[in-house]
Amino acid sequence: MENRKAMVIGTGQMGAGIAQVLASASYNVVLYDLDTQALQKGISKIETSLKKAVQKEKIKECEMNETLARIQDTTSLSNGDDADIVIEAIVENLEVKKEVFKKLDQIVKKEAILASNTSALSITELGSVTKRPEKVIGMHFMNPVPVMKLVEVIRGLSTSEETYKEIKSITESLGKVPVLVKDFPGFVSNRILMPMINEAIYALYEGIASKEAIDEVMKLGMNHPMGPLQLADFIGLDTCLFIMEVLHEGFGDDKYRPCPLLKQYVKGGYLGHKVKRGFYEYE
């Protein structure tokens, strides 16, 4: 894979993680963000992650340096015009993503695959704004990307078999396990996970048990490594609410109705671990 080039759009937790695993697998990576400070933070996240891997003796220091050398940061989309694959990992807003895909379609070579790391939005709709819908596909990585093995691979209505096979091969080259799912709201992971989290929030909202008790039941009784309320904090309560709203609107079924307590927390700025307070408070 030494001569293959990838572009990653977005430098948040997911974008930085995706860039890291691509570079670690010998891809030359262009990491893009409009904001230079965000770019610096993204590169810093990658360096921190790789240094931890060196400390744990999972990789050698020379491998860390080689991985970092393969990553080029940029604020210009045109620097990825010769990329073989572009993976978008920006804010979960369909209109914003569609604008990015329109621009990429005009800039990136016609043979390139355009992938989205969206956790819930329609791949078919993203593909519809391009002239290459057959080359648009979903690659939903799990967080933290360097650690988690699963990648949901989502085929839109127009995604070709050739594109799917190529993405399957790329995913495996990253040491990940690709799982094919159809293009429905929330795919598989969030269609199952988010209603469970939402129901846990309802249990708290209705006073059935304390947050600690609800999490303890799921950890000790269901062998979950983390309770649903704590997990919601780590995912981000705004993200949880967004996905529940996508499910509610997409299926038109009230079983996906977001809990009022979740809405209240988000409106109050209690977004979880990233702001140091959600269902729990964090130092």
Q: Which residues are catalytic?
A: 119, 140, 152, 190
Q: Where do we find the tokens 């491998």?
A: 63
| Encoded tokens for 28 | 């030359």
Q: 78 exposed, middle or buried (CB, 10 Å; 0-12, 13-18, 19+)?
A: exposed
The 8-class DSSP code of residue 82 comes to T
Q: Where do we find the tokens 């996240």?
A: 45
| Encoded tokens for 62 | 């020379």
Rounded to the nearest angstrom, the gap between the alpha carbon of residue 207 and the centroid of all alpha carbons in its chain is 33
- For 244, residues 6+ apart whose C-beta sits below 8 A from its C-beta are 194, 195, 198, 256, 257, 258, 262
156: number of CA atoms within 13 Å, CB side? 27
Residue count of the chain: 283
| Encoded tokens for 258 | 């977001």
| Encoded tokens for 100 | 């990015």
Ramachandran area for residue 187 (φ above 0: left; ψ -120 to 50: alpha; else beta)? left
Residue 85 sits at φ, ψ, to 5 deg, of -145, 140
- For 65, residues 6+ apart whose C-beta sits below 8 A from its C-beta are none
- State whether the Cα torsion 38-44-47-48 is positive or negative: negative
